[in-house]
Amino acid sequence: MSKTDALPVQDHEVTTETFLEDVYDGFDRDPRWLPSKYLYDEVGSKLFDLICQLDEYYPTRTETKILDQFGTQIAQCIGANALLAELGSGSSTKTRLVLDRLETPAGYVPIDISKEHLIQSAKALQDAYPDTEVLPVCADYMAEFVLPKPSRQPSHAVVLFPGSTIGNLEPDEAVSLLERMARVTGTAGGLLLGVDLQKSPEILQRAYDDSEGVTAAFSLNYLVRMNRELGANFDIGLWTHQAHYNEEIGRIEIGLVSEDDQFVHVGDRTFKFAAGELVRTEHAYKYTLGSFAALAARAGWKVQQVWQDEQRRFSVQYLEVD
């Protein structure tokens, strides 16, 4: 048996019952919404990987360039013998730019809600970095979980949170997550994360509603997943993807629009949707450097270093507990 075949997986995979309860809760609200974490089943995770390759979707390309250009400085901030834990690890592509420059990392903990995608990515990382222990955790990182212990005692822990996923959270939710990460790392650790910055609405609109329709397929896959896993009967052709930039509060708002009056069965319940009704699936706040520093300070973090692209569209930031 190879080392990758024996990868231990700490499994907190979300159950069908929890998924159904969350959908009921979202559909009982006004306006209706669906938790964005369920966008990332195996198909959704692969579609998101495709989104990250699109010309219109600047965040991944820009963040990758920053990590590559300033990788040595970033590794110096993280330090030697660190346990690196990544929230929402996905394909772990950007992680390699960090691991390539780290000095003797004690281990890497990819954390993702999509189990099959997580296992595939973790095996690929273990093959690529045989001297770094890979300890995958299947979990919703918004819930409490304990980091697995690597074979070699790390000097400190650093949380990696790329992709500006922090922007998908309401400010109070973001503060709660950052507080929990401070408890995970302790005062000796740190946090490396991507923070998307405010820019023209036109650029943002194209990024979240691409011309090839990949983002639309990603959104509509939510309905496909509910049909498959929850016994729902969504007619996919009666729904469309919508993305809108709300300039007043500085965020992109994403959802699915019902094209007609319709009834949909989910589990043992029936829901009526009106023509033109929007069901929110995701949003993404865009920050200034100052507004994010203030948000992080509420959770006990202090920004130590900021790296940006030349156009100042995106930032990668390293924080320590204040």
Tens digit of pLDDT for each residue in 54-72? 999 999 999 999 999 999 9
217 lies in the same domain as 263: yes
Query: Is 3 within the bounds of a domain?
Result: no
Q: Give the pLDDT confidence score for residue 76 in this predicted structure.
A: 97
215 lies in the same domain as 255: yes
308 lies in the same domain as 180: yes
Report, as ranges of residue numbers, the positions in the chain whose pLDDT lies below 70.
1-6, 8, 10-13
CA distance 80 to 95: 16
Query: Is 5 within the bounds of a domain?
Result: no
Domain CATH for 98: 3.40.50.150
Tokens linked to 264: 């949909």
Rg (CA), the chain: 20
Query: Is 179 within the bounds of a domain?
Result: yes
Domain count, the chain: 2
If one counts every other C-beta atom within 10 angstroms of the C-beta of residue 82, the result is 25
183 lies in the same domain as 220: no
Assign 3-class secondary structure to 43-93.
Answer: HHHHHHHHHCCCCCCHHHHHHHHHHHHCHHHHHHHHCCCEEEEEECCCCCH
- Tens-digit pLDDT profile for residues 156-171: 999 999 989 999 999 9
165 lies in the same domain as 80: yes
293 lies in the same domain as 276: no
37 lies in the same domain as 177: no
Query: Is 6 within the bounds of a domain?
Result: no
Tokens linked to 310: 């030349």
Q: Give the pLDDT confidence score for residue 13 in this predicted structure.
A: 65
State how far Cα 176 lies from the chain centre.
16
39 lies in the same domain as 129: no
111 lies in the same domain as 159: yes
Closest CA to 49 of 60, 63, 38, 37: 60
Q: Which domain holds residue 157?
A: 54-198+287-321
CA distance 131 to 135: 13
Q: Give the pLDDT confidence score for residue 141 in this predicted structure.
A: 85
Q: Give the pLDDT confidence score for residue 15 in this predicted structure.
A: 85
Query: Is 307 within the bounds of a domain?
Result: yes
